[in-house]
Structure 1
Amino acid sequence: MSQTLANDEVNDRPLKPALLRGALGRCPACGEGKLFDGFLKVRDTCAHCGEDLHHQRADDGPAYLTILLVSHIGAPLLLAIYMMYRPSAMMMLVTFSIGAIVMSMLLLPRIKGAFVGFQWARRMHGFGDEHHDEAALTAR
């Protein structure tokens, strides 16, 4: 019985909208307020709905996932470009370095936002406080 209640509490926040809102840099609760206060610094609270966001613990997860994605996209592309066009080593070094940096800069905030959205939806690390849930529901 208590296991069923615990599962219901965890599943009552929709995961997909929270992930999408976080990936778009918006508050996972209301989707209106900005999630970041800079490039990667998560705001302490949402300016729109007042949701506490300081609980997030994304840590190194977004960086590891970004490295994984960039390398898994870049390595086959590097091989394919080399096999098709045979560019010089310097040309490949410059273009793929710039490409990896640009792709990392584009992916990292989106992945971190999705991590924060996931933590909020699953009530991880203190996001389970109930007093902000009513404000988030009325803001929708």
Structure 2
Amino acid sequence: MTGDAPTRRPFATGLKRGARGQCPNCGQGKLFRAYLKIRPICEICGHDNGQYPADDAPPYFTILLVGHLVVGPLLAFHVIFTWPPFLVLAVLLPSLTALMLVMLPVVKGAVVGVLWSVAGSSKDRQ
């Protein structure tokens, strides 16, 4: 470090701002320009959000969350075992697909927010 005061990037702040679809740096600009397309530059603060590659983490975490929070507890309901299999699939597959599509941008924004936090912390250690 060159004597400048280290800038702290709180993990929870980046996570919350990203999950809300806001720029993790300022919390005011929009993070996405389309469904899953990150705005390379924040229109409010000018921060380069394109430098945080989320890659495969958002789909992985989304599947993990839906699998553990929905499918696991769903197995405790007796209806799964009493309904005909085609009816269970006809109800569950579209609803799980919709839930995954709704959660994916939230999780991707959270991952970008976490990467923002980690990138700021790693720069402070150099």
Same fold (TM over 0.5): yes
Could you tell me which residue of structure 2 aligns to residue 57 of structure 1?
53
Q: Distance in 2 between matches of 1:21 and 1:122?
A: 14
Distance 2:69 2:60 in 1: 14
Give 2:64's match in structure 1, choosing from 36, 60, 68: 68
Shift of 1:102: 1.4
Q: Structure 2: how far apart are the matches of 1:87 and 1:94? A: 11
Query: What secondary structure does 1:80 align onto?
Result: coil
Partner of 1:108: 104
Whole-Å separation in 2 of the counterparts to 1:95 and 1:78: 12
State TM-score, norm by structure 1: 0.75
Shift, 1:75, TM fit: 2.6
RMSD, aligned CA: 2.3
How many equivalent residue pairs? 119
Aligned residue for 2:76, secondary structure, equals helix
The one of the two structures with greater contact order (alpha-carbon pairs below 8 A, sep at least 6) is 2
- TM-superposition CA deviations, 1:74-110 (whole Å, max 9, x none): 33244233x2471221221011101211110121111
Q: How does 1:1-140 map to 2 (within 5 A)?
A: 9=6, 12-81=8-77, 83-84=78-79, 86-123=82-119, 128=123
Q: Give the gaps of 5 or more residues in structure 1.
A: 129-140
**C-alpha displacement of 1:122:** 1.4
Q: How far apart in 2 are the matches of 1:15 and 1:73?
A: 23
Deviation >6 Å, runs of 4+: none
Q: Could you tell me how far apart the structure 1 residues matched to 2:38 and 2:106 are?
A: 12
Structure 2 distance, partners of 1:87, 1:105, is 26
